[in-house]
Amino acid sequence: LAKTTQPISMDSYEGQEVNITCSHNNIATNDYITWYQQFPSQGPRFIIQGYKTKVTNEVASLFIPADRKSSTLSLPRVSLSDTAVYYCLVGVGGNTDKLIFGTGTRLQVFP
Amino acid sequence: EPEVTQTPSHQVTQMGQEVILRCVPISNHLYFYWYRQILGQKVEFLVSFYNNEISEKSEIFDDQFSVERPDGSNFTLKIRSTKLEDSAMYFCATSSVRSYNEQFFGPGTRLTVL
C-alpha cells in the first residue's frame, strides 16, 4: 500500500477554507485516495474518496492532480466542530480489507 | 441514519483475564472489522471477517485474539488473556462491500487492563 505523508497539524479560524495536502508518490494505478475524519474518543468517519480530478460532496472536495502523486482535501468555511484529525489513505479498491491509517493531520479551528 | 454500536463503552479488567467486546453491525452489511487505537497512536487494523471466517488479519491479531458472529447479529472480539499493552480503544467497523471503500466505524470500547 502506498505510503502517505501529510502535515502533522494545521490551525485555522472559523469561516476559513482549509486545504490539507497529502503526498503519495508511489501510488499505484489501481489505488483510490480516501479521507477519514476522527474526533477525540470516536471512531474514524469516511469523508470522501476519489481516483482522479475532483470529487465534491456535501462535506468536502478532493482535488487530485493528473499525476495522482498528491491530493488535497478542501474543507469550505470550517467551524469549531471541524476540529479533528484528518487521515489520508491510499489503497487498492476491491483487493484488500484493511484500512492503513497514518498519523493524520490534526486540525484545530479557532473562533 | 444506521450506525454501528459497540458494548461496553468502557471495560476495565485485570491482566490475564478474558474480555469480550461486542459490536452490532449495520443490518445489511456483510463485512466486519476490528481496529484498535492505543492512546495517542495510530488506528491499527486487527482483523476482517466475512461469511463466518477471517478474511485478513494483522500481526497484532495473534492467538490471544479471536472473532466470531455467534448469533448472526453481534460480532465479537475476544481477548483470552489480556496484557497491559492491550489497553486501547477498540473500534468495530462494517461495510456493505469488500473494497477499499467506506467503512462505518462504531464509537469504540475503551479497554483498560490493570
Q: Is A12 helix (H, G, I), strand (E, B) or coil?
A: strand
Distances (CA, A) of B5 to A102, B65, B75, B107: 25, 20, 10, 7
Mean pLDDT of A75-83: 96
For a pLDDT cut of 70, what percent of chain A falls above it?
94
Q: Which residue does chain B place closest to A42, by CA atoms?
A: B107
> Which residues does chain A have within 8 Å of residue B45's beta carbon, measured at their own beta carbons?
97-100
Instruction: Calculate the average pLDDT of chain A.
Output: 92
**A30 has a pLDDT exceeding 90:** no
**B99 has a pLDDT exceeding 80:** no
Q: B18 pLDDT band (50/70/90 cuts)?
A: very high
> Which residues does chain A have within 8 Å of residue B31's beta carbon, measured at their own beta carbons?
97
The whole-number pLDDT of residue B96 equals 86
> Which residues does chain B have within 8 Å of residue A38's beta carbon, measured at their own beta carbons?
43
The whole-number pLDDT of residue B73 equals 82
Q: Which residues of A touch B (CB under 8 A)?
A: 31-32, 34, 38, 41-46, 49, 87, 89, 91-104
Distances (CA, A) of A99 to A65, A106, B94: 23, 19, 12
The whole-number pLDDT of residue B28 equals 86
Amino acid identity of residue B84, one-letter, is L
Q: Residues of A52-65 as b/e, b for ≥16 C-beta within 10 angstroms?
A: eeebeeeebbbbbe
Q: Which residue does chain B place closest to A36, by CA atoms?
A: B102
DSSP A88-101: EEEEETTT------
Contact A94 B44 (CB under 8 A): no
**CA-based Rg of chain B, rounded to a whole angstrom?**
13
Do the strands B65-68 and B75-79 form a parallel or antiparallel pair, or are they unpaired?
antiparallel
> CB under 8 Å to B4, separation ≥6 — which residues?
A43, B23, B24, B25, B26, B92, B93, B94, B104, B105, B106, B107
